[in-house]
Amino acid sequence: MSELASIFPTIVGVYKIDIDFDLVYEILKKYKSEEHILLENSKSSWNQNSNILFDENLDYLREKIEEYLEKYSSSIGIKPLHIVESWYNEMKKGTKIITHRHEGSVVSGAFYIRANHESVPLRFMSPLRPYKMNELYERNDTEYSTSGVQFKPEIGTLLLFPSWLEHETDPEVGTRCVISFNTLYKCLFS
C-alpha cells in the first residue's frame, strides 16, 4: 500500500456578503485615520480605538460577520469567538502591507468594502517556511512547496484566518478599503 497524507492544514474561510458598500464607506469616512507602521503610506483607523464594527449603523454587518465567524469556528473545531476590535485601512497606489500577524487574537478577518481589478492580492505566508530551510523545489506551485497563497481582493469578500498566519501585500497597483478585525473566545466575556 502506498499513499500521501496531507497533514496540518491551515484553513482560510472565504465568504461573500452583499451590502450597500457605498453606505458603509460613508460611515467609515467619519472615523479618523492616520498612517500606520505596518501599512506603508496608507490610512488606517487602527490607532484610534474606534472599534468600527460596533458602530450602531454597522450592527447588521457585524452580525453577518459573526454568523460566518461562528461557521468558521465550528469548522475548525474551536470554541465560539467574539469580535474584540475592528478598524479600517484604505490603501492607494504604491502602498503595501508589511508582513505581520495579529498578536493577542485567535482568528482575524478582512472584509473588502472597496477594491478594483488592479488591487493586489493579500498573500498568506506558509507557516512551514522557517522549517523548510534545506528543501530545493523543482516547481513552487504545489500546496507542499509554495511559500505563500494569494487571495485577490473583491468587493464583498470576507476572509477569516488564524491570527498567527503571517500576511502581506506587494505595493498596491489599484486601490482598496478593508475592514479588519480580531477576536477572542466568547467564554472570556461571560
Of 13, 182, 167, nearest in space to 101 by CA: 167
Cell 452580525 belongs to 63
- Other Cβ atoms closer than 10 A to 137: 12
What DSSP designation does 3 have?
A: -
pLDDT of residue 40: 67
* pLDDT one-digit tens code per residue, 47-71: 777 799 999 999 999 999 999 999 9
Facing residues of 160 across strands?
13, 109
* pLDDT one-digit tens code per residue, 134-184: 888 787 678 888 889 999 999 999 999 999 999 999 999 998 999 999 999
- The alpha carbon dihedral of 89, 109, 184, 64 has a sign of positive
Question: What mean pLDDT is reported for the chain?
Answer: 91
> In this structure, which amino acid lies at residue 81?
L
Contact 175, 68 (CB under 8 A): no
Contact 100, 178 (CB under 8 A): no
Tell me the C-alpha distance between 52 and 59, whole Å: 10
Domains along the sequence of the chain with CATH: 13-189 (2.60.120.620)
Q: With a threshold of 0.95, does the pTM exceed it?
A: no
pLDDT of residue 35: 74
